[in-house]
Amino acid sequence: MSTHPYRRALAALAAGAVLALGTTACGDDPGPQDRTVEVSDTEHGVADVAFATDMVQHHAQALSMVDLTVGRDLDPEVEQLAEAIRAAQGPEIEQMADWLTEWGEDVPETMRDHVNAGHDHGGVSAGEALAESMEGMDTDMPGMMSADDMAALADAPDEEFRTRWLEMMVEHHEGAVEMARTEQAEGRYRPAVELAVTIERTQQTEIETMRGLLG
């Protein structure tokens, strides 16, 4: 089976992101963001911890939004985008959680620890269940949706869901790009900075795809 052109583009961007950072490390150019600290293959700093902690929660919300596409009557382009987001962000969550564990830091709880979209919610709507799952969650980071936003998306009728989902995911991705740029500027741990470069470039490509789908 041939690889979808969108997936090939993302793979090429990810490879280019890592290569670009590796080249930067050997030269004087600070890279995509003005560096404030020198990167290290072994040492991490406060910015790295903040990046991993926040992005675990941020990615988890994106995956919850992807979960809401299951069973919806969506065009193939949106379905492919949703699965690409799942395929990229699931492993990234695991990687960042592993770093936090290695650093002796807490792995934050996420909304996905409390609810699974599409399962029995004990008589409440999917939107209400999602809102409940976000109680106590930190939404004070760029692009994070509120409990009301998520509830409205989950309970949106099919004729409204596609547009609402794309608009919300664009905003969510823009927040992730902002967080990734901060890590590129302030992070110390090279693998985390490399991941930030990949997140920025991958999600920026997805933003352009979603804007095109919105028309």
Task: Count Cβ atoms within 10 A of the Cβ of residue 168 and give its class: 0-12 exposed, 13-18 middle, 19 or more buried.
Answer: buried
Q: What is the pTM of this model?
A: 0.80
Q: What structural domains and CATH numbers belong to the chain?
A: 43-214 (1.20.1260.10)
Q: Which of 114, 112, 113, 110 is nearest to 122 (CA)?
A: 114
Contact 119, 64 (CB under 8 A): no
Question: pLDDT in tens for each of the 215 residues of the chain?
Answer: 434 433 444 444 444 444 445 444 443 333 455 676 899 999 999 999 999 999 999 999 999 999 999 999 999 999 999 999 999 999 999 999 999 999 999 999 888 876 544 444 455 677 777 777 777 666 789 999 999 999 999 999 989 999 999 999 999 999 999 999 999 999 999 999 999 999 999 999 999 999 999 99
The span from the CA of 95 to the CA of 117, in Å, is 23
